[in-house]
Structure 1
């Protein structure tokens, strides 16, 4: 592993190899520190926000039974009771294939008894985990975008050094002079 990170004790290591070793170490440490810190912060704030939204929806969205007064196409006139017990009449959406007039269906209403959209089905834990994974991937891509050009530049310096050395040493070994 140390040799892969260019930290081995090879006597043939050049200045560029040592620089690459330090670059690898610094970027690995940056990935671990930045990635974990960013993922923890974002997942914590996402979890708190999603928990707040779910709590708000629990207080302001209610599922009630409504009786259809006509066959839906797909909306139909229906009658239900608001959360405070007052009767309400209005249009609700129901499945035309399974509902006819007189059928009881569930509908979501707000605290005033008006039809509302159902609360989203989401888990704060799942949302927070997804944000944490996305943050780690984003940091990894950022580190890679720093590492790749540095590595290409170091390879360019290595190739130039090898070429210069070969121009000095090569003619001694070769019969073509």
Structure 2
């Protein structure tokens, strides 16, 4: 059995038709503008966001540096900060030497299962304060790509929603126009043709 051919036609808004209203032309331009903005604007927003995120991560890698430290307390008994991490990290007291030679202590995240006196690597910012390890170049690129994709999808979704709102308003106007036209034509249907 053959499938019935659908009545849907591509580009119907752009074809000449005596029944085409001004609102149909406006809607066609809205659809074209929305999809153009989604494709071009979404790409641009995604690329700019990814680039900005990548620059931010590169800035973190430039500002932070690793320093050898010694654990002041053991980490075997400490409670992990996150469940299910590949290498569970715990907050522990560490001691290190500042660039000016003075001893410093503080609490930071280190790998678990270390004894007091073990050597660990900690991360400091440019002001000498304890901080988290910056993301590697690969992790930063992946996160930047995720941020860019998310920004592009969000921009596209907002643009699409705006276009649908404009189309809904056009539909409301068409319904009102049809109601007015029906009010004029409806009473004539009750007359008998002679």
Helix, strand or coil at the partner of 1:36: helix
Any gaps of 5 or more consecutive residues in structure 2?
A: 1-7, 79-89
Corresponding residue number in structure 1 for 2:125: 110
Corresponding residue number in structure 2 for 1:78: 94
Alpha-carbon offset, residue 26 of structure 1: 0.6
Range 152-161 or range 32-41, more displaced: 32-41
Q: What aligned pairs does 1:48-87 form with structure 2 within 5 A after superposition?
A: 48-71=51-74, 76-80=92-96
Alignment match of 1:126 (pick from 130, 146, 151):
146
Any gaps of 5 or more consecutive residues in structure 1?
A: none
Corresponding residue number in structure 2 for 1:27: 30
Q: What number of residue pairs does the alignment pair up?
A: 168
Distance 1:52 1:116, change over 3 A: same
| 1:68-106 per-position Cα deviation (integer Å, ceiling 9, x unaligned) | 113467754323466x79675311224797454224444
Mapped to 1, the partners of 2:126 and 2:97 lie a distance apart of 11
Mapped to 1, the partners of 2:10 and 2:17 lie a distance apart of 9
Corresponding residue number in structure 2 for 1:39: 42
Alpha-carbon offset, residue 9 of structure 1: 7.3
Mapped to 1, the partners of 2:73 and 2:111 lie a distance apart of 10
Range 140-149 or range 70-79, more displaced: 70-79
| Aligned 8 A contact 2:73 2:93 in 1 | yes
The TM-score, its normalising length taken from structure 2, stands at 0.68
Range 93-102 or range 31-40, more displaced: 93-102
Mapped to 2, the partners of 1:136 and 1:66 lie a distance apart of 48
| Aligned 8 A contact 2:92 2:110 in 1 | no
The TM-score, its normalising length taken from structure 1, stands at 0.73
Helix, strand or coil at the partner of 1:108: strand
